[in-house]
Structures are given as C-alpha cells and as structure tokens.
Copies of this chain bind each other. A is one copy, B any other.
Amino acid sequence: MDIKEYVVNIGIKGKAAARLMASINTEDKNKGLLNIAKALLENKTYLMEENEKDMIAAKENGLSISMQDRLLLSEKRIVEMSQGLNEVAALNDPIGEGIKSWKRPNELRITQVRVPLGVIGIIYEARPNVTVDATALCLKSGNSVILRGGSEALNSNKAIIKVIKDSLLSSGLPYDAVQLISITDREAVNIMMKLNNYIDVLIPRGGAELINNVLANSTVPVIQTGVGNCHIFVDSSADFKMAIDIIINAKVQRPAVCNAVEKVLIHKAIAKSFLPLLYKVLIDNKVEVRGDAAALAIIKEITLANEDDWYKEYNDLIIGVKVVEDIEDAIDHIYKYSSKHSEAIITENYNNSQTFLNKIDAACVYVNASTRFTDGFEFGFGAEIGISTQKLHARGPMGLYELTSSKFLINGNGQIRK
C-alpha cells in the first residue's frame, strides 16, 4: 500500500467512525474512557517497555535532555494519563446540549444544538501523553480522532494506541474512533493536510515550526494553538512588589510553556527605579536578561536584544526587557510583536487598565495577574486540547466545547415560504 492510499484509508475509516460516534450516548462514552484509564494501568509494564525502545533511540540520536524528558513514560506519568481520562469522563458532555431555541412568527420552532465536529486530526511532537489527552477529549465530545505524533515516540504511541483500541473494542465503541498514522515519512503529514473530504479540523500541537508548517500547507481547516510571545507591561503607577512577584511567577514557575512571559515593557517614568529591583530578582532566579538600549543604559550587564528577540518565544529562562514611552507605546509594541496569546498590564491606574483591556488584541488580556493563568484548568474548563491563538472558531483555552459544532433543528407543521 502506498503512503497516500494508507492515509486516505485512515481518513475513510475515521469518517465512518465519526458517524457512529455522533450517536453514542454519554454513559457509553464515559464507560469507554474509564475502561481505557484502567487498561493503561494494567498495561503499564508493556507501555514502559515499548517506551524504553524510544528512549534508547533518543539517547543514541542525541535528543536534548528536555525532549527526552517529554518522551519518557514513567509509572507516575502513566498514572497521570489514567487520571486524566477519569477526569474527562467526569466532565459534562456538551453533545446534544441546547444552545438556544426560539419560535418564529410563523410558528416554526428553531433550536440550535451542539453536535460533534466529526473527524479531528492532531499533529504533535514526541509527547506520548498527548496521545491519551487528545483521545480523551475527542472521544468525550463525540468525535473520532486521527493522531500523528513525533516519530521519536512511535513505539510508545503504537503501544498506547493498541491499549486504547483494545479498550474501545471491549467497550463497544467504534474501533476506528482512534487511529494513529504510524508511517513516519513526512509525506504522510502532507497528505493528511489535504484530506478535506475526511478530516474536519486539524490541530497542530507543538513548537512554532510545526504550527507554521501546518498553517502554510493545510487546506483542511486548522486551529492554531500555542505559540506564546507574552508581554507584561509595568505601568508608571504599578505596585513594584506586585509587578516583580507576577513577572517572576510568569517567567520562572514553568518557563517552557506558552503562557510564560517572554517580554517585560517598563514605563520610562519608573524604569530607573524599577528595573534594578526587577533585574536583581531575575538574576537571583537564573534568568538571562536581554534588553533595548534604554535598559542597557540602566543596567550595563544586560545583553542587547536584536530585532528577532522581540518576536521570539524563548521557552527558557530568558527574558526581554524594553523601556517604553507610555501605555500607547506599549500597546503598539505588543500589536507588532505579540503572538496574541496572553498580555498583561500591572497598574494602579483605572483608565490605563481599561485602555489596555480594550485595545490589546489577544486571546487573554490581564490586569494585575500572571499570564500563567491562561489554561483550561485555571479557567475552570477542565482538561484542554490547547490554547487557540487564532480568531476563528475558538480563541484562548480550548476544552470540550471547542471540539463541537452545532446544527439547527426546525420543527414545523407544513410551513412554506411566502
């Protein structure tokens, strides 16, 4: 079978499974999720053995330590994945929910209800836990899912998928509701990105390169997730202690995630007094500081940032610092360089808080809080499939609801249009 035939065949099976999934009731979907959760624990030795093959290859191929860490399936991680499935089973089922309903003057009753999207494609890196998390959310929301994980995790993913599919079978759920593209040839992804007849939406999860590749080449609708070049603007009226606490939290608590802060903009009126205080705490926390000329004029140890820095998501203990003229200058800088993920202002000035909330174009705009709260759990949505940084369909943390569509049901008694 050639690659195209292989991928199209997966698409056909995924679409057939999606049709079945749309009619499966909440109880049966939950039972399936709980069975998978149980089966993962029962098969943990098998999963860890298969993961070990990937880990050995990763070391041989010199994968970075942080990538090796993401690839590892420890017993603890398997327990967490299993718990994640139980948590998704406990969430409300959005499918069938009435969105609105009204009666027209001609007595037609129109009711908008939630339905699944259909077939969801997930393209991601070598993180086996995504295989389970994405499966859980897609199944609960009545969709079928086609997974394409990073080739470094192939043995781990194949093992996880085997456990999942066996559980689907024993739970009476469609066997093809979860499928893995196990050809590592990149051509498989290229074909997947053109599979408009069989895939309803593609969600790339990973770094900027992965996401940009999907955006540039997919004709299947894409939900753009994750890249976060987040800013915190410290206004002239800011409470210095609050500003420093928030910046350190947003940078240091988990630097490799998309809601970590990457740039701090400081109002020029307080730059001389505030920056030295901030700089000291950053250095104490082992954060490398890059800055513009005005920042260097205050702290000469700061490295000069170049134009690329202002666009960059470091995902590391590095931060960019820039002195700005005023709030409008800050807003302009953010408009130009931001990835429209999460932006914050630290201020005690009411008007400036409102200006910032109104004018910043981003999924999440904060006043006096850490950007780290942009997260499905922190918002109270439960598990998330990613954080959308686009404007179509979903924006911000995406949970079960963002994996649904709707349809209109119209009840009549013989109405015709005049």
Is residue A265 contacting chain B, with contact meaning CB distance below 8 A? Answer: no
Question: Do the beta carbons of B117 and A391 come within 8 Å of each other?
Answer: yes
Number of A interface residues in the complex (CB < 8 A) = 69
A65 within 8 A of B: no
Most chain B beta-carbon contacts within 10 A, residue among A221, A357, A366, A417: A417
Q: Are B201 and A417 closer than 8 Å at their CB atoms?
A: no
Interface residues of A in 88-134 (CB under 8 A from B): 102, 104, 108, 110, 112, 115, 117-118
Which one of B115, B215, B246, B250 lies within 8 Å of A219 (CB-CB)?
B215
Q: Given A117-B391, A361-B22, A396-B408 in contact, is the A372-B417 Cβ separation under 8 Å?
A: yes
Kindly state whether residue A1 has any CB partner on chain B within 8 Å: no
CB–CB A368/B407 < 8 A: no
A283 at the interface (CB under 8 A from B): no
Q: Which of A363-393 contact B (CB under 8 A)?
A: 363-370, 372-374, 378-380, 390-393
B415 touching A370, Cβ below 8 Å: yes
Contact in complex: A417, B221 (CB < 8 Å): no
Chain B residues in 8 Å Cβ range of A335: 19
- A405 x B392 contact (CB < 8 A): yes
Flag if B365 contacts A104 (CB, 8 Å): no
Distance of A120 from chain B, by nearest CB (Å): 11
0/1 interface trace, chain A 40-65, chain B, CB 8 Å (1 if under): 00000000000000000000000000
User: By the criterion CB–CB under 8 Å, are A392 and B395 in contact?
Assistant: no
Query: Cβ of A166 < 8 Å from any Cβ of B?
Result: no
In contact, A242 and B396 (Cβ under 8 angstroms): no
Q: With both chains docked as a complex, state the minimum distance between the C-beta of A336 and any C-beta of chain B, in angstroms.
A: 11
User: Do A367 and B411 touch (CB < 8 A)?
Assistant: yes
Q: A221–B219 contact, CB under 8 A? A: no
Contact partners of A102 in chain B: CB under 8 A? 380
A405 touches B378 (CB 8 A): no
Do residues A416 and B246 form an inter-chain contact, with CB atoms below 8 A?
yes
Complexed CA–CA distance, A368 and B109 (Å): 11
Q: How far is the CA of A36 from the CA of B365 in the complex (A)?
A: 35
Interface majority SS on A: helix, strand, loop or mixed?
mixed
Q: Which of A250, A378, A390, A415 has the most CB of B within 10 A?
A: A415
Contact B215–A407 (Cβ < 8 Å): no
Q: How far is the CA of A396 from the CA of B100 in the complex (A)?
A: 14
- A414's nearest neighbour on chain B, judged by CB, is B242
Whether a CB of chain B sits under 8 angstroms from the CB of A239 is: yes
A218 CB contacts on chain B under 8 angstroms? 219
> Are A361 and B249 in contact, CB atoms less than 8 angstroms apart?
no
Contact A406 B416 (CB under 8 A): no
Chain B residue at minimum C-beta to C-beta distance from A375: B417
Bound CA span A70–B324, Å: 54
Known A104-B380, A221-B222, A369-B410; further 11 A-B contacts with Cβ < 8 A: A104-B379, A110-B379, A361-B407, A363-B407, A366-B412, A367-B411, A367-B412, A370-B415, A370-B417, A379-B408, A395-B406
Which residues of A come within 8 Å of B, CB atoms?
A: 19, 22-23, 102, 104, 108, 110, 112, 115, 117-118, 196, 200-201, 215-219, 221-223, 239, 242, 245-246, 249-250, 253, 335, 353, 357-359, 361-370, 372-374, 378-380, 390-393, 395-396, 405-417
For this complex, 22 residue pairs linking A to B, each with C-beta atoms less than 8 Å apart, are: A23-B358, A23-B359, A104-B378, A104-B380, A108-B373, A118-B361, A196-B215, A201-B391, A215-B219, A218-B219, A219-B219, A245-B416, A249-B416, A353-B411, A363-B408, A364-B408, A368-B415, A369-B411, A370-B416, A392-B393, A393-B393, A396-B408
